[in-house]
């Protein structure tokens, strides 16, 4: 069971990451689920955080590690004039280990990501 399964959410789609490495331990599948939160996540959750409406790429423990895109992060991506935030972490936040970052980065490079730019913002 993935950490996301404990919370109300909607599966939006899947993201295909052509990494040379397993993104989910012991599982060769290259699809990462994309979810929208339908409830706020309690502070004691370790796999991710988020509020109603935020988008998660990955479902946390038991699934792939997670990237959270807040509702403000979505607005930031869609509106180049949006500046109603204090910290970039409030927009987009990665909950992945350096090892997972390497693995997903391998696949993202094949999709056009350049290591000179923020992986998290490029993916979002």
Average per-residue pLDDT for the chain:
92
pLDDT tens sequence across 56-78: 999 988 889 999 999 999 988 88
- What does pTM read for this prediction? 0.91
Residue 1 pLDDT greater than 80, yes or no: no
Q: Which domain holds residue 61?
A: 3-123
Residue 86 pLDDT greater than 90, yes or no: no
User: Considering its fold, how many domains does the chain have in total?
Assistant: 1
Task: Name which of 69, 61, 65, 59 is nearest 21 in CA terms.
Answer: 65
pLDDT tens sequence across 94-112: 999 999 999 999 999 999 9
């Amino acid at each position: 069971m993935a950490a996301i399964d404990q919370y109300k959410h909607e599966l939006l789609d899947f993201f295909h990451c052509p990494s040379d490495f397993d993104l989910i331990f012991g599982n060769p599948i290259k699809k990462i689920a994309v979810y929208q939160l339908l409830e706020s996540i309690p502070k004691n959750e370790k796999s991710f955080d988020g509020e109603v409406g935020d988008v998660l790429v990955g479902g946390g423990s038991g699934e792939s590690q997670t990237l959270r895109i807040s509702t403000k992060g979505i607005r930031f991506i869609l509106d180049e004039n949006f500046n109603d935030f204090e910290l970039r972490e409030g927009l987009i936040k990665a909950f992945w280990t350096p090892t997972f970052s390497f693995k997903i980065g391998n696949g993202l490079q094949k999709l056009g990501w350049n290591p000179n730019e923020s992986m998290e913002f490029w993916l979002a």
